[in-house]
C-alpha cells in the first residue's frame, strides 16, 4: 500500500503536509513560490551524504520547489575534533563544486547551511568557519555567512557537552539579506536563533524570510526548537525556514529533527517530524508578510535604539 511504501523514505506526516499544500495550491487562484526543507541524517561519510542530499534535492525539484534548504553540517558530522578538521574544505573544494553543479543541473537555488569551511589562516591555525552558503540556479555562490554565535554549552543533566569554539572561528559580521526566487532571505545558522537582536537586524535590513539551518541536540530541541522559531517569526513578522538534522550521527551525537516552516503570524506550516529524513514543501506568500506588517505595525511602534539602551549601566549586582 501507499503508506507502507512511504515509511521507507519519508514520514507519512510529511506526505500529508505536502499533499495538503498541493491541494491548497490547486484551489488557490494565486501562484506562490515553493521552498523545500530537506531533513538529513549525515555521518562522516561525505560521499554518502552527498548522494542522500542529491536524492532530496531531486525530489524537491520534482515537487516544484524553486529553492531548497539543507541543514547545518549537510556535508558531514565528524566524531572528533581531529576528524572534523581533516574532512573540511574550502569554498572552491570538491564538495562545493558538486553542489554548484547540482544547482545548475536542477535549475534550483540552494541554501547550504553549515559548511565546514577551512579558515583563512588554515596552515597556521587549523580552524574552520561554520558557513551558510547560498547558490543560485546558475551554480554561482551569491552569499556566504559565517556563523557568529558559537555553541559552547555544557548541560550535564541533559548529557549535552559541545564546545564549538575549540575548532571554529566566529564570523566577523552579519551579511545583508539576499534576493532569491522566494523572497529576500536573511541568513543565520542554528545557535544564532537564540539571539533576538540578530534576527531583528536582518529584518530591519529588509529580510522577508529568516533561515536557521540547524543540528539541534535532542535535549535542547525538545525544549526550545519550535518555540524559538515561532517567536522569531512572530516578533519579526517574517517567514522562518529551518532545515534540520535528525537521528544518530555517531555514538555521542544525535539531532532532534523537526525541520520547520513558520509563517509571519507564527503558524507552523510544515514539519518533517523527529524520526526520518525527508522533504517538506511550503508556499511563501509575500503578500501575507505585507498584510501582517500593515495590520500590526511593530516596526512603526518600535522606539528608537536609545530608548531600549536607557537601562544599560543601571543593573544591580
Residue 72 falls in the annotated catalytic set = yes
- Decide: helix, strand or coil at residue 69: strand
259-263 contact pairs (CB < 8 A, 24+): 259/37, 259/38, 259/39, 259/71, 260/37, 260/225, 260/226, 260/229, 261/35, 261/37, 262/229, 262/230, 262/232, 262/233, 263/233, 263/239, 263/288
Give the H or E element holding residue 248.
Answer: strand 246-250
Catalytic residue among 190, 208, 272, 283: 190
Residue 31 falls in the annotated catalytic set = no
- Decide: helix, strand or coil at residue 45: coil
Residue 147 falls in the annotated catalytic set = yes
Catalytic residue among 38, 59, 147, 272: 147
Answer whether 38's CB lies under 8 Å from 243's CB.
Answer: yes
Give the H or E element holding residue 109.
Answer: strand 109-118
Catalytic residue among 72, 117, 218, 283: 72
- Decide: helix, strand or coil at residue 92: coil
Q: Active-site positions? A: 72, 147, 190
Amino acid at each position: 500500500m501507499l503508506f507502507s511504501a512511504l515509511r521507507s523514505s519519508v514520514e507519512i506526516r510529511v506526505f500529508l503536509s505536502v499533499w495538503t499544500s498541493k491541494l491548497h495550491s490547486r484551489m488557490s487562484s494565486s501562484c506562490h513560490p515553493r521552498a523545500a526543507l530537506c531533513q538529513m541524517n549525515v555521518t562522516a561519510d561525505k560521499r554518502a551524504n552527498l548522494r542522500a542530499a542529491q536524492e532530496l534535492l531531486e525530489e524537491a525539484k520534482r515537487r516544484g520547489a524553486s529553492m531548497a534548504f539543507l541543514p547545518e553540517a549537510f556535508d558531514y558530522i565528524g566524531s572528533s575534533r581531529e576528524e572534523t578538521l581533516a574532512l573540511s574544505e574550502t569554498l572552491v573544494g570538491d564538495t562545493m563544486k558538486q553542489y554548484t553543479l547540482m544547482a545548475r543541473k536542477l535549475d534550483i537555488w540552494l541554501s547550504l547551511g553549515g559548511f565546514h569551511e577551512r579558515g583563512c589562516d588554515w596552515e597556521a591555525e587549523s580552524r574552520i568557519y561554520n558557513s551558510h552558503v547560498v547558490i543560485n540556479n546558475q551554480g554561482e555562490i551569491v552569499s556566504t555567512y559565517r556563523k557568529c554565535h558559537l555553541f559552547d554549552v555544557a548541560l550535564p543533566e541533559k548529557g549535552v557537552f559541545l564546545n564549538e569554539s575549540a575548532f571554529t572561528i566566529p564570523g566577523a559580521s552579519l551579511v545583508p539579506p539576499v534576493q532569491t526566487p522566494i523572497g529576500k532571505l536573511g541568513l543565520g545558522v542554528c545557535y544564532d536563533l537564540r539571539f533576538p537582536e540578530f534576527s531583528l537586524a536582518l529584518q530591519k535590513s529588509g529580510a522577508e524570510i529568516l533561515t536557521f539551518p540547524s543540528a539541534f541536540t535532542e535535549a535542547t530541541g525538545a525544549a526550545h526548537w519550535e518555540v524559538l522559531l515561532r517567536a522569531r517569526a512572530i516578533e519579526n513578522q517574517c517567514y522562518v525556514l529551518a532545515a534540520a538534522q535528525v537521528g544518530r550521527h555517531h555514538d555521542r551525537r544525535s539531532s532532534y529533527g523537526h525541520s520547520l516552516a513558520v509563517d509571519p503570524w507564527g503558524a507552523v506550516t510544515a514539519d518533517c517530524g523527529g524520526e526520518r529524513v525527508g522533504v517538506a514543501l511550503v508556499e511563501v506568500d509575500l503578500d501575507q508578510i505585507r498584510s501582517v506588517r500593515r495590520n500590526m505595525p511593530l516596526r512603526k511602534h518600535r522606539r528608537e535604539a536609545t530608548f531600549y539602551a536607557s537601562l544599560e549601566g543601571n543593573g544591580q549586582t
